[in-house]
Amino acid sequence: MRIVSLLPSSSEIVCALGLEEELVGITHECDYPRSVSDKPRLTASRISHETMTSAEIDHAVRSQLDGHGSIYDLDEAKLRDLQPDLILTQELCEVCAVSYKTVEKAARSFEADVKVVSLEPNTIDDIFANIRLVGELTNRVHEADELINSLVSRLAAVRSKSEAIANRPRTLMLEWLEPPFAPGHWVPEQVALAGGDQAFGKAGQRSVTTTAEEIRDYAPEVIVLIPCGYYKEDILRQLPTANLPEGWNELPAVRAKQVWAVDATSYFSRPGPRVVDGVEILAKILHPEVFGSPTNEEATRVTESVPSA
């Protein structure tokens, strides 16, 4: 089977099922496992995390999508040359990947039949269901079930400890810096599993913009910065010039130096196996007395004050 993955998360799933050799095409963002780096890349972004601020990116995204455009380009000629049997993509979010309609239209131009499958996870259970679906599509059901069982076991191990903890700190997972976004999809579940209060966010629903007033009213005791698509280095580079919500430096978490930067794109943004790593890292941030402290590789504490409105 020749597989094209137009999602970083589905590339991770394909490789976790032992199908890296069958993966013939990926996106410009696919970077895990590192061994996929030499695969043909079929997409490009018109927006750069490296050169644009979070406010500039937000404006560019809204401008493109409001005008019914796209922030991604798909190399249709290269896609056709690869002659895939299976294309994995999504319809959930036009900010996350090439438009499903664009992919479907490109696939219709092929001379041979190709299956286009849209993965639409909203919860952790949905992510596991997607792993099994990819296993079914690729004759790797046994491998998929083994992977899911391993992930479920790891979550159960965290839950067994966190359920006994009475103190569940108010936890703000900030999915974007400017404007601030409250978390959705599987992130509130990650917080709950790790032993935090997940009230600031709605599990299974889209992330939404929030306000300085809502953040102040919640008075978070821990803040974890997880802007979509960012690594720790991206976050730390942008913080000194980011215009964070009014009253930021007076929030309990900021005053207690409980603000953390993590690899959002690895552990919180992508609906793949590593969301479980995200739960384990978050448990260390929230309850180091139980789970041990996070390593510098896993999370970086933000100790300097940053600009706010």
Residue-wise pLDDT tens digits, 40-97:
999 988 777 677 788 877 777 777 655 445 678 899 999 999 999 999 998 765 556 6
Say yes or no: 213 and 122 in one domain: no
What is the rounded average pLDDT of the residues 219-232?
95
- More confidently predicted of 93 and 243: 243
- Residue 73 bridge partners (DSSP): 44
Maximum pairwise Cα distance, the chain: 62
Say yes or no: 172 and 259 in one domain: yes
- List of long-range contacts for 275-279, beta carbons under 8 Å, 24+ apart: 275/124, 275/127, 275/186, 275/190, 276/151, 276/154, 276/155, 278/190, 279/154, 279/155, 279/158, 279/190, 279/193, 279/194
Model confidence pTM above 0.85: yes
Structural domain contains residue 247: yes
Report the pLDDT value the prediction gives residue 304, as an integer from 0 to 100. Answer: 75
Structural domain contains residue 307: no
Q: How far is CA 115 from CA 68, 106, 107, 250, in A?
A: 26, 12, 8, 53
CATH code of 212's domain: 3.40.50.1980
pLDDT tens-place string over residues 273-294: 999 999 999 999 999 999 999 9
Report the pLDDT value the prediction gives residue 65, as an integer from 0 to 100. Answer: 58
Report the C-alpha gap between 148 and 9 in whole angstroms. Answer: 15
Structural domain contains residue 308: no
Say yes or no: 131 and 230 in one domain: no
What is the rounded average pLDDT of the residues 12-28?
97
Report the pLDDT value the prediction gives residue 68, as an integer from 0 to 100. Answer: 46
Mapped onto helix, strand or coil, the DSSP state of residue 197 is strand
Report the C-alpha gap between 50 and 19 in whole angstroms. Answer: 31
Q: What angle do CA 168, 169, 173 make, to 5 degrees?
A: 120
Phi-psi region of 136 (alpha: psi -120 to 50; beta: other; left: phi over 0): alpha
Structural domain contains residue 79: yes
Report the pLDDT value the prediction gives residue 249, as an integer from 0 to 100. Answer: 93
Say yes or no: 131 and 216 in one domain: no
Report the pLDDT value the prediction gives residue 104, as an integer from 0 to 100. Answer: 72
Torsion of CA 102, 105, 111, 115, to 10 degrees: 80
Say yes or no: 32 and 131 in one domain: yes
CA atoms within 13 A on the CB side of 14: 30
What is the rounded average pLDDT of the residues 231-255?
93
Report the C-alpha gap between 275 and 286 in whole angstroms. Answer: 16
Report the C-alpha gap between 239 and 216 in whole angstroms. Answer: 19
Confidence bin at 25 (pLDDT 50/70/90): very high
Say yes or no: 52 and 137 in one domain: yes
Structural domain contains residue 159: no
Mean of pLDDT over the chain:
91
Structural domain contains residue 155: no
Say yes or no: 11 and 64 in one domain: yes
Report the C-alpha gap between 254 and 221 in whole angstroms. Answer: 8
pLDDT tens-place string over residues 110-138: 767 899 998 989 999 999 999 999 999 99
What sign results for the dihedral spanned by CA atoms 93, 38, 278, 5?
positive
Q: Which domain holds residue 96?
A: 3-144
Number of domains in the chain: 2
Q: Give the other-Cβ count within 10 Å of 66's Cβ.
A: 8
Structural domain contains residue 240: yes
Structural domain contains residue 157: no
Say yes or no: 55 and 120 in one domain: yes
Say yes or no: 195 and 249 in one domain: yes
Say yes or no: 179 and 285 in one domain: yes
- Which positions ≥6 away from 97 have C-beta within 8 Å? 6, 7, 27, 43, 72, 89, 90
Say yes or no: 29 and 108 in one domain: yes
Report the pLDDT value the prediction gives residue 61, as an integer from 0 to 100. Answer: 73
Report the pLDDT value the prediction gives residue 60, as an integer from 0 to 100. Answer: 73
What is the rounded average pLDDT of the residues 170-183?
96
Say yes or no: 174 and 89 in one domain: no
Query: Which element (helix H / strand E) includes 296?
Result: none
Helix residue ranges, H only, 109-248: 124-137, 141-162, 187-194, 212-218, 232-238
